[in-house]
Amino acid sequence: MQAFTTLNGLVAPMDRANVDTDAIIPKQFLKSIKRTGYGPFLFDEWRYEDHGEPEMDCTNRPKRGDFILNQARYQGAQILLARENFGCGSSREHAPWAIVDYGFSCVIAPSFADIFYNNCFKNGILPIVLDDAQMDTLFDACAATEGFSLSIDLPAQTVSLPSGQVLSFEVDDFRKHCLLNGLDDIGLTLQNADIIRNYEATRIQTAPWLF
């Protein structure tokens, strides 16, 4: 997994609540058996005027002019601003795969759906929770300034605005540790193999029907 430490990147705003993972990556792209290649289909139904299919060449597909990521000023964005309950619905990890494949590595929102939030950390994406007032500040600043960018510092747990304003955010120690070091948490868990075996040896005595 790609490590995340600091990032200074262009910001794009997604100003709507309850963005679901069906919208982030529609179902037809879930037929792939790979982890990569989803970026061109991120937000496919909102982004293009035609119907997208897996493996399609998206270079010449007609784009919806009113969709935020199609605007010239947001090309190359690495940080996505979002509203409440971002990533709700389906557990599909194809959603963070599409987000990271597109080029985003940080999503900032007032709240995330649990499964999506968890999936982000497995894919080198930092999901940051800020309060509604802070989000409004970021959305306003982003709309007002072309080329608006933010500096994210995961070790310090801060988001810095060009104005000099610095916002702090919370993140679990373990998730932070894994993200900072790009760690494969299966390998970490397997370091505890003996503890897992001991648990099983005890559990099989009290609840043998589970084995």
Partner 1 sequence: MAKTLFEKVWDQHVVSKNDDGSVLLYIDRQLVHEVTSPQAFEGLRIAKRKPWRVNASVATPDHNVPTTNREQGITDPVSRTQVEALDANCEEFGITEFGLGDIRQGVVHVMGPEQGLILPGMTVVCGDSHTSTHGAFAAIAMGIGTSEVEHVLATQCLIQKQPKTMRIRVEGDLPAGITGKDVALYIIGEIGTAGGTGYAVEFAGSAIRMLSMEARMTLCNMTIEAGARCGMVAVDDMTIDYVKGRPFAPKADAWDRAVTAWSELHSDADAVFDKELLFKAENIAPQLSWGTSPEMVLPITASVPNPEDARDDVQKEGWIRALTYMGLEAGTALQDISIDKAFIGSCTNGRIEDFREAAEMVKGKTVAANVKLAMAVPGSGLVKQQAEAEGIDEIFRQAGFEWRDPGCSMCLAMNADRLEPEERCASTSNRNFEGRQGLGGRTHLVSPAMAAAAAIAGHFVDIRDWV
Binding mask 127-166 for partner 1 (x = CB under 8 A): ----------------------------------------
Instruction: Kindly report each contact of residues 114-118 with a partner whose C-beta sits within 8 Å and lies 24 or more positions away, as own/partner.
Output: 115/87, 115/91, 116/21, 116/86, 116/87, 116/88, 117/87
Cα distance between residue 16 and residue 64, in whole Å: 17
**Shorter beta-carbon distance to partner 1: residue 65 or 164:** 65
Query: What are the structure tokens assigned to 197, written together?
Result: 């075996």
Query: For residue 91, what are the contacts with CB-CB under 8 A and spacing of at least 6?
Result: 21, 115, 119
Query: Which segment (24-32, 66-74, 150-158, 160-168) binds partner 1 by CB under 8 A?
Result: 24-32
Query: Which segment (73-81, 142-150, 156-164, 181-189) binds partner 1 by CB under 8 A?
Result: 181-189
Give the 3-state DSSP-derived string for 106-142, with helices as H, strands as E and coil as C: EEEECCECHHHHHHHHCCCCEEEECCHHHHHHHHHHH
Query: 96 to each of 82, 127, 146, 193, how far by Cα in Å?
Result: 14, 10, 26, 29
- Judged by CB under 8 A, does residue 18 bind partner 1? yes
- Judged by CB under 8 A, does residue 17 bind partner 1? yes
- Judged by CB under 8 A, does residue 207 bind partner 1? yes
Residues 49-68 binding partner 1 (CB under 8 A) are 51, 54-55
* Closest distance of CB 207 from partner 1, Å: 7
Applying CB under 8 A, which residues contact partner 1? 16-18, 20, 22-23, 26-28, 30-35, 45, 51, 54-55, 83-85, 88-93, 96, 111, 113-115, 118-119, 122-123, 172-174, 184-186, 189-190, 192-193, 195-196, 199-200, 203, 206-211
